[in-house]
Structure 1
Amino acid sequence: MIALFFATPIECEIIFDRLKNKSSFVLKKVSFIKGKIQKHEILLCISGIGKINASIASILAFENFPINKAIISGIAGAYPSSGLDIGDIAVAEKEIEADQGLLINCETGENSFLFMDYQEFPLHIPTSLQNYKKGTFLTVSACTGNLKRANFLEKKFGAICENMEGAAIAKVGQLYNIPVTEIRSISNIVTDRTELLITKEVKNAAEIVQKFILENPLLFE
């Protein structure tokens, strides 16, 4: 069985609709949907946003179902020098939990952190994804809405994009010895912001990566 992890329902609507023989249920307030895509048994998990929700959801999935592979998906914000554009597909080579430590300068810059306490987790890249944009993903507790901080994080970690769940699921997968792949679509370029993304931007990016997954059946092999 293959576990597909998405943070929110809007990020997995197309895949939900495509599942055959669906059965929905809730474990510890986390939503799961079992079904099939072609011949493959799928567990669709809607984890909720953030590292805590992602950790709980992945532990529940790996403890209660015969998962042999996991795919993390959804949207991501690309860093300014990544070469990624809105709507592009990005594949994680590794995930880094990037915002633990002592933050001493909210305006960011080279001395933003006095002490960094971060972990990194390698991810599995199937052969079918080798030709797509690959790189380091960062998992953060709050999306970056400051260009100076974006430049700091990008330079510090050599990262191409950020999200809020990936490192948590990657770590749990490592503990359970389950290979984890992460594929995301870019919803925005990280810069100075004063508001959240609008639903249309999220939905467009989410649709792109869902269609990509469904059109690449080798991901399920």
Structure 2
Amino acid sequence: MRRVVVTASTRMELSELIPAASALPFSGVGHLPLWRAELAGQELFIAQTGMGKANAACAATLLCERLTPDLLVNTGCGGAFPGCGVGVGDIAVADAECFADEGVLTPDGWRGLDLIGIPLYEGRGERVFNRVPLPLEPARRALAHAAAEGFAAALGPFLTVSTCSGTSRRGEEMLRRFPGICENMEGAALAHVALIYGVACLEVRGISNMVEDRDMSRWDLKRAVGEVQRFLFSLLKCPDALFGS
């Protein structure tokens, strides 16, 4: 039986998926709030990690060590960059993750970790600095499933930050560093840990807001987290869409 682990930073981002999957509380994996279910012939674990990169990396390490998943799926909400092809309520699927604000501030401006020359990860013929690769086939299958099920979705790189971009100017600065469609606070850390453990990783997020001058009256968190959980439950019920036939 294949084992799938789904993570999100908050309970709100899992509030529909847990009952939809009939998942029950599960103990024994450190401090993590965790639920378990069997769905479509798969063993499914759903974990609440806490917000930010440190919480995400800690949780992903525990989950990879204790559960040895076949697939790690990161979900939740995120902000979309204007002109990226997704809007509020749409689904964003990652084909790569970037540590967007790890680097060096020089007299000539910001530079990435390659300036230091010490990779975050080195192995399997790869040297990873800011950009963490994600396996493309799970992402492409997820995008195809979204189209088949009528979800508005786009595929592209995600940017993970420690400080949310609350101005249009900051968003533009992030995009000058790395191309991207979606900003979040955990994804690169989860992708990094999955890479270390050799676990396939998929990231799908619901868009709650645009990366612009912060105006929460224009946000729709409820719609974003509801839509992405409905999409993810639909995906989890189709093992061929997750793993291929």
> TM-score with structure 2 length normalisation?
0.79
Q: What SS does the aligned partner of 2:16 have?
A: helix
SS in 2 for 1:150: helix
CA separation in 2, counterparts of 1:102 and 1:185?
31
CA-to-aligned-CA distance 1:56-98 (integer Å, 9 cap, x gap): 0000001111311111111110011212110111110100001
Moved more, 13-22 or 37-46: 13-22
Residue identity in the other structure for 2:48:
I
- State the match for 1:202 in structure 2: 221
Partners of 1:72 and 1:26 lie apart in 2 by 21
Instruction: Give distance in 2, aligned partners of 1:182 and 1:100.
Output: 20
Aligned to 1:122: 133
What residue identity is the alignment partner of 2:130? Q
Deviation at 1:116, TM superposition (A): 2.5
**Please, which of 231, 239, 243 is the counterpart of residue 212 of structure 1?**
231
**Residue number in structure 1 paired with 2:79:** 77
Distance between the aligned counterparts of 1:165 and 1:215, measured in 2?
23
Alignment partners' CA distance in 1, 2:225 and 2:77: 6
Secondary structure of the residue aligned to 2:220 is helix
Moved more, 32-41 or 164-173: 32-41
Instruction: Give the conservation status (yes or no) of the 8 Å contact 2:21–2:233.
Output: no
Equivalent in the alignment of 1:9: 11
Percent sequence identity over matched residues? 31
CA distance in 2, matches of 1:202, 1:98: 23
SS of the residue corresponding to residue 100 of structure 1 reads coil
Q: Deviations over 1:116-172 (max 9, x none)?
A: 225211112424324441111000012110111101212321111100000001011
Could you tell me which residue of structure 1 aligns to residue 209 of structure 2?
188
User: How far apart, in 2, do the equivalents of 1:87 and 1:102 lie?
Assistant: 35
Structure 2: state its 5+ residue gaps: 114-128, 145-152
Do the aligned residues in 1 keep the contact of 2:29 with 2:62 (CA within 8 Å)?
Answer: yes
Q: Output the CA distance in 1 between the equivalents of 2:180 and 2:242.
A: 27
Q: Whole-Å Cα distance in 2 between the matches of residues 27 and 42 of structure 1?
A: 14
What is the CA-CA distance between 1:37 and the residue it aligns to? 2.3
Where does residue 126 of structure 2 map in the other structure? none
Cα root mean square deviation, aligned: 2.1
Bigger proportion of residues as strand:
1
Cα 1:26–1:75 shift into 2, 3 Å: farther
Indicate if the aligned counterparts of 1:80 and 1:151 stay in contact, CA closer than 8 A: no
2:25 is equivalent to residue 23 of structure 1? yes
SS in 2 for 1:63: helix
- Say which SS state the counterpart of residue 193 (structure 2) adopts: helix
Could you say if the C-alpha distance between residues 21 and 150 of structure 1 is closer, same or farther in structure 2, counting changes exceeding 3 Å?
A: closer
Task: Judge conservation of contact 2:99–2:188 (CA < 8 Å) in 1.
Answer: yes
How many residues matched?
212
| Residue identity opposite 1:211 in structure 2 | R
Worse-matched range after superposition: 135-144 or 29-38: 29-38
2:212 alignment partner, SS class:
coil
Q: State whether structure 2 residue 91 is matched by structure 1 residue 89.
A: yes
Contact 1:11–1:202 (CA under 8 A) maintained in structure 2: no
Q: CA deviation at 1:4?
A: 0.2
Q: Structure 1 residue 103: deviation in Å? A: 4.8
Distance 1:26 1:66 in 2: 14
1:29-40 equivalence runs, <5 A: 29-40=31-42
Q: 2:60 aligns with which of 58, 61, 71?
A: 58
Structure 2 CA distance for aligned equivalents of residues 209 and 122 of structure 1: 22
SS in 2 for 1:85: coil
